[in-house]
Amino acid sequence: MATDDIRPQVAVRTGNLGIWAFGGAALIGGAMLFMTLDAHRQALNAPATRASPQDMAVPGTAVPDLQVPYAEPQSVPLVAMPPATAVPIGTAQPTTLPTSPSVVAAAPSRPRWDNAPLTPPIASGSGGSSVTGPTTVFDAPPPSSAPPAPSAPAEGASPTSGPERVKATRLLNPATTVTQGSVIQCVLETALDTTKPGLARAIVSRDVRGFDGSQVLVPRGSRLIGEYQSDVASGQSRALIRWTRLIRPDGVTIALQSPSADTLGRAGVKGKVNSHFLERYGGAILQSALNVGMNVATSKLADGTYIVGWPGVTTPTTGSTGGSNVRSTVTVKQGASVSVFVARDLDFSSIDERP
The DSSP secondary structure of 45-82, one letter per residue, reads: HSPPP---HHHHSPSSSPPPPS-PPP-PPPPPPPPPPP
Q: Which helix (H) or strand (E) holds 26?
A: helix 17-45
Is 236 within 8 Å of 330 (Cβ atoms)?
yes
pLDDT score at 42: 85
Is 217 within 8 Å of 176 (Cβ atoms)?
yes
Q: Which helix (H) or strand (E) holds 224?
A: strand 223-228
d(CA 341, CA 183) in angstroms, rounded, equals 5
pLDDT score at 128: 44
d(CA 187, CA 206) in angstroms, rounded, equals 10
Is 262 within 8 Å of 269 (Cβ atoms)?
yes
d(CA 276, CA 232) in angstroms, rounded, equals 13
Low-confidence ranges of the chain (pLDDT < 70): 1-4, 10-15, 48-80, 82-162, 277-278, 280, 298-324, 352-355
pLDDT score at 104: 47
d(CA 182, CA 208) in angstroms, rounded, equals 9
d(CA 221, CA 252) in angstroms, rounded, equals 13
Pairing of the two strands 208-209 and 223-228: unpaired
Using CA atoms, how far residue 141 sits from 137, 144, 145, in Å, is: 12, 9, 12
pLDDT score at 222: 95
Domains of the chain, earliest start first? 174-274+330-347 (2.40.128.260)
Q: CA dihedral in degrees (250, 251, 257, 260; nearest 10)?
A: 50
